[in-house]
Structure 1
């Protein structure tokens, strides 16, 4: 600002802000070739479209055992990607800088290990792996190979979650946090039907007992951790991140509501014990989708001074409710708010919430997520990410930077392991009907 003022005073034309702004990840257009193994819904509806919005990224190879999926992915990639039906062939022969593994959970370890053995950098979808030992094996393999391993916990890359962590949790606006509640409820069976032609798949070659297990692998314990690894792992990762801690124990109950032959729980309720006497309750069901804060999922952090609700699928991603009797900060009366009119709620502080929109409070600095200024990817007025940006996009921008520049990704294998453990032990607690302790050796690679 001073330099601009001096230049104008000397009769020089002021320099436009965009001409002097330091280049960042949004300006990066370096070529980056990706292969992808597993072309189901997560790949073709979320990851591939997000990656293809990034300048310089292209898909040169796609692989799936179901031909229609591989063809759909190839079409999405512009028709240029080479199609494989065997992941080992892709890993040996594809022209690519890195590979994305977006397959059923039980396949993560063998595929990641094979990729690393072929000196490939790897982006692996969450949850990291089917077991704690599998997670450790993948992490060891990445270290031995000297290749990047990034795990797809995409909420780590949500700019408003980063903003909430820094400006609400770390800033102490909630006071001492004693309770956290996470919910991801849906009303649907989660079951898919095979499509014409799928019956030709040689499913036994790949270890599946029947075609339904290929299409609905999430519903069977042999291949999946169910709700805990498909949904809860996202939210438990957020809890770990916001608390800068990992759980010490878990207890829970689970049951099966949809009696269609599935073997995973589709109704789960758990309690996690975290350090400093923080208790975390978790629920996920498939027969009712009610959510007072928006769509399906939220994480609610309750402190003695206020409550923070994060709901990444909803119109308002972040909401802050001040507790009655808690002192307001100077900026709070001017903050963007939304009403929760309800005559059953006695306290006015609980009938309105501050909407997190990425604007820091006076005197604080703008935060970054994966090197990107939050204000560059958040629509301040709408209080959500700008149209055309996704968390998947940001995490894949960072993946390219990690591979090409040798940087450590935000969500590397260590973070992946720490976030997998509570999800995997949650299933163990429900199945054993016992309290399960988290021990230090679960995090050790020796």
Structure 2
């Protein structure tokens, strides 16, 4: 394997797979079961493309999903594959591939997990779909709405399933939050104040990249910066809660870079989004925070919810002078949150997708909505103006 500067993660994939045909996508409730036949006790074989740091969490989760075996690993950094293979606790030893097109020729693979840098998600996902594989694609779905649209069209052509890796949709604690906003007497959602204030912008270990291969998180065009990298998770949760289309976005972002050098990717920024239902999201992300995280706060007409620190607090109130409200509002509630980050749950759900029992969730259109906000935020920060989401396609 070459270590020259032209060597890049794009070498994962050849061009022989482009153009395979398919037809229309299944429709209906994304969480509903749909027709499909599976053999009792069948083990579905999955290939992982991208053996970087995130793959460790996915492999650890799949160790707890009995219906899926990891049968293949693919990465251009050769020594990463045996390292990740040591983490696999069940099934035969996986086969190793340096190029995705070679792995996709492995006929016994039913599914592919795309855990490569964001700028490669479209290319790797479409190749896997057109090779007849179901796909789990890590967040963000892609870096542009145009790329998301191509991925959605590939799902429509191939009839294969595409699940996006925003695991909070499957996480027990976030389900408690969404259930409270949906079913408690807090009224219409008006505004959210969300954050990712963390000090964990990871410096790669010396052996992670060959000489001449840049750490992708340092490159704005490859990673999208802090809004895509960290913000995609809570922005997706906000989309889930607001249950409305984003309309416009404004953002200011910057590069501080005290720890990592030669980088143009944003490491702090703020984003304000207006939705079609009139609600507003305010998001802030920064990777130079060393204190406790602030709770995420959701303001509703009749209540305020704060989520964080292992608990959900709900405080009720009535706007003064509003007809129909008599007596004291309900007493405040503090609910402990269940544990679990949602990664095991999302991979268990994906196993049911591969088995033909459920439709992918979150799917491409849901993943695209987050990218609309992230791409709009980046454009806003560059052009110094509010961006209309409809301009992004």
The TM-score with structure 1 as length reference comes to: 0.72
Residue 150 of structure 2 aligns to a residue whose secondary structure is helix
- The equivalent of 2:229 in structure 1 is 230
- Which of 98, 102, 105 is the equivalent residue of 1:92? 105
**Superposition map of 1:19-418 within 5 A:** 30-44=42-56, 46-78=57-89, 80-93=93-106, 95-166=108-179, 168-195=180-207, 198-199=209-210, 210-211=212-213, 213=214, 216-258=215-257, 260-291=261-292, 293=294, 298-311=295-308, 314-316=309-311, 318-323=312-317, 327-329=328-330, 354-355=334-335, 357=336, 383-385=337-339, 390-418=341-369
User: Measured at CA, do residues 158 and 85 of structure 1 come closer, stay the same or move farther in structure 2, by a change above 3 Å?
Assistant: same
Structure 2 CA distance for aligned equivalents of residues 430 and 29 of structure 1: 51
Structure 2 CA distance for aligned equivalents of residues 328 and 112 of structure 1: 50
Residue 277 of structure 2 aligns to a residue whose secondary structure is helix
Return the offset for 1:57: 2.0
> How many pairs were matched up?
343
Return the offset for 1:124: 0.5
Return the offset for 1:29: 5.4
User: Measured at CA, do residues 292 and 141 of structure 1 come closer, stay the same or move farther in structure 2, by a change above 3 Å?
Assistant: closer
Return the offset for 1:164: 2.3
Residue 287 of structure 1 aligns to a residue whose secondary structure is coil
User: Measured at CA, do residues 80 and 129 of structure 1 come closer, stay the same or move farther in structure 2, by a change above 3 Å?
Assistant: same
- Contact map agreement 1:127 1:229 (CA 8 A) in 2: yes
Return the offset for 1:93: 2.1
Return the offset for 1:222: 2.5
- Contact map agreement 1:34 1:99 (CA 8 A) in 2: yes
Structure 1 CA distance for aligned equivalents of residues 63 and 107 of structure 2: 18
Cα RMSD, aligned residues only: 2.3
Residue 178 of structure 1 aligns to a residue whose secondary structure is strand
Gapped regions of structure 1 (runs ≥ 5): 1-27, 201-209, 333-348, 358-382
Stretches (4+) displaced over 6 A: none
Task: Select the structure that is richer in helix.
Answer: 1
- Contact map agreement 1:125 1:152 (CA 8 A) in 2: yes
Return the offset for 1:137: 0.4
Tell me which of the two structures has the higher relative contact order, counting C-alpha pairs closer than 8 angstroms and 6 or more residues apart.
2
User: Measured at CA, do residues 187 and 161 of structure 1 come closer, stay the same or move farther in structure 2, by a change above 3 Å?
Assistant: closer
Return the offset for 1:188: 4.9
Structure 1 CA distance for aligned equivalents of residues 185 and 41 of structure 2: 39
The TM-score with structure 2 as length reference comes to: 0.81
Structure 2 CA distance for aligned equivalents of residues 414 and 188 of structure 1: 30
- The equivalent of 2:20 in structure 1 is none
Which entry has the higher C-alpha Rg, 1 or 2?
Answer: 1
Structure 2 CA distance for aligned equivalents of residues 104 and 437 of structure 1: 27
Return the offset for 1:154: 0.5
Structure 1 CA distance for aligned equivalents of residues 328 and 54 of structure 2: 44
Residue 396 of structure 1 aligns to a residue whose secondary structure is helix
Return the offset for 1:421: 1.1
- Which of 421, 426, 443 is the equivalent residue of 2:372? 421
Gapped regions of structure 2 (runs ≥ 5): 1-39, 320-326
Return the offset for 1:69: 1.6
Residue 76 of structure 2 aligns to a residue whose secondary structure is coil
Structure 1 CA distance for aligned equivalents of residues 67 and 200 of structure 2: 39
Residue 183 of structure 1 aligns to a residue whose secondary structure is strand
